[in-house]
Structure 1
Amino acid sequence: MTYRWILFDADDTLFHFDAYQGLRRMFERHAVDFTPDHYAQYQQLNKPLWVDYQNGAITAAELQTTRFDGWARQLGVAAADLNLAFLESMAEICTLLPGAQALLDALADAGVRLGLITNGFTALQLARLERTGLRERFDPLVISEQLGVAKPDVRIFEHALQALGDPPREQVLMVGDNPHSDILGGLNAGLHTCWFNPHGQAAPAGIAAHHEVRALGELQTLLLG
């Protein structure tokens, strides 16, 4: 076993993140039939906001409210209230990805220390961890909204490493699905990295993970044999 410490991303690495279904569920409560076209329009606004957030150009609060400003005006409600309702809906439909529970159980049984570094928002991440019984599994639990910096900023990784007691970095593995925030960020922090790439996408130029897997069961075999 090479890695004694493993840091995981959350969304689309351990947890299934279906924003469309979460938005549909939330908007049903406002008598809105949220369609794929609505979702495409939402993503046109949401995706650039996430880039700005990860680059430190806007805050978590600005992202969460700005993405719902148009709908808030249309429905006559506060954008912050829509965002909170969306996070609640996402918590209600949360599920672990196939193989996630078995992987985490096996690593814990092997004495590996597990941490979580997520750019997701505090209310949703804590609710999902509680619902799935994983809240106590991760130490440290690093949430960008609480820290004030987001992946790929090296400072969020440094914070996690400090919480781990500053272990040898070649013995720390960062696992995530996003090559820019998870893999590049981990590499810049001097960590070993594993790209969880279930769809077999081509790696972006200049980003080379130490490992790549297409299923969490494959990662379990890689780590534990």
Structure 2
Amino acid sequence: MQYQWILFDADETLFHFDAFAGLKLMFNRFDIDFTLTDFEIYQRVNKPLWVDYQDGVISAAELQTKRFIEWGEKIGVTAQHLNSEFLKAMAEICDLLPGAKALIDGLVGKANLGIITNGFTELQTVRLEKTGLLHAFDQVVISEEVGIAKPDVAIFEHALTRMNNPERSQVLMVGDNPHSDILGGLNAGLDTCWLNATEQERPDGITPHYEVKSLTELHRLLLS
């Protein structure tokens, strides 16, 4: 094994993140039929908030409440309550991406494993427990708890400190987002692997050390 540590992003790297299905399930419990049109309107609010969060303009708490303010007013509950119910629904429907379990099982004992995620605390442990992966990870670094989000180098520095500062060439960061995962990892001096399942164009100025289309391909790369 070339690497001492392998760090993973969570959403759309290890876990399938179907926000529409989660919102549909959550709103169904409030007797609301949440449609694709509703989802488009939600995303018009949600997506810019994520950009602001990753740029350090707003906090995790602000993101989580602001995205549900209008819905909360509409149905007479707090935005915080809706957010909590949404994360609960997302935990219930969570699924590992194809090849994730085999990859993690194959890596356990050969490298130390960690997660660095911009996702939220309420969701992470539940999903890891539910999918039987909690035991596999030596470190789970959650931006909400650290107060800094990827691609900020400071969250990678925080993780490296918790990992007892291994040689950076001995650390591989794996993620699906070329900006937060790959550029963030590169800026922190780590090797990077872009999980590009949808075969996007590589953004200008971002050159990962590896690029794979699936976790099965990554499995072969790391363990064959």
TM-score, length-normalised on structure 2? 0.99
Matches for 1:1-225 after TM superposition, within 5 Å: 1-109=1-109, 111-225=110-224
Q: Distance in 2 between matches of 1:165 and 1:60?
A: 27
**1-structure distance, mates of 2:79, 2:149:** 22
Q: What's the secondary structure of 2:135's corresponding residue? A: coil
**How far apart in 1 are the matches of 2:134 and 2:171?**
21
**For 1:2, what is the secondary structure of its paired residue?**
coil
**Deviation for aligned residue 1:136:** 2.2
Amino acid at match of 2:184: G
Would you say how many aligned residue pairs link Structure 1 and Structure 2? 224
- What is the distance in 1 between the residues matched to 2:188 and 2:131? 30
Deviation per residue, 1:93-119 (Å, 9 max, x gap)? 00100000000010114x210000000
Structure 2 CA distance for aligned equivalents of residues 127 and 2 of structure 1: 31
Distance 1:127 1:144 in 2: 16
- In 2, Cα distance between equivalents of 1:97 and 1:129: 13
Which amino acid in the other structure matches residue 45 of structure 2? L
Q: Which amino acid in the other structure matches residue 74 of structure 1?
A: K
1:167, 1:130 → 2: CA distance? 27
Aligned partners of 1:88 and 1:213: how far apart in 2?
31
Q: Distance in 2 between matches of 1:36 and 1:98?
A: 25
Structure 2 Cα separation of the partners of residues 223 and 120 of structure 1: 26
- Give deviations 1:29-76, integer Å, cap 9, x for gaps: 111111111101111110100010011100101000000000000001
Structure 1 position 132, deviation (Å): 1.2
Distance 2:33 2:222 in 1: 45
What secondary structure does 1:6 align onto?
strand
Q: Provide structure 2 residue ranges, at least 5 long, that are not aligned to the other structure.
A: none
Amino acid at match of 1:209: P
Distance in 1 between residues matched to 2:13 and 2:49, nearest whole Å: 21
- Give the TM-score normalised by structure 1: 0.98
The one-letter amino acid of 1:94's match is C
Shift of 1:171: 1.1
Q: Per-residue CA shift, 1:184-225, capped at 9, x if unaligned? A: 000000000000010100111111100000010100110111
Give the aligned CA root-mean-square deviation in angstroms. Answer: 0.7
CA distance in structure 2 between the partners assigned to 1:206 and 1:48 by the alignment: 23
Letter matched to residue 127 of structure 2: R
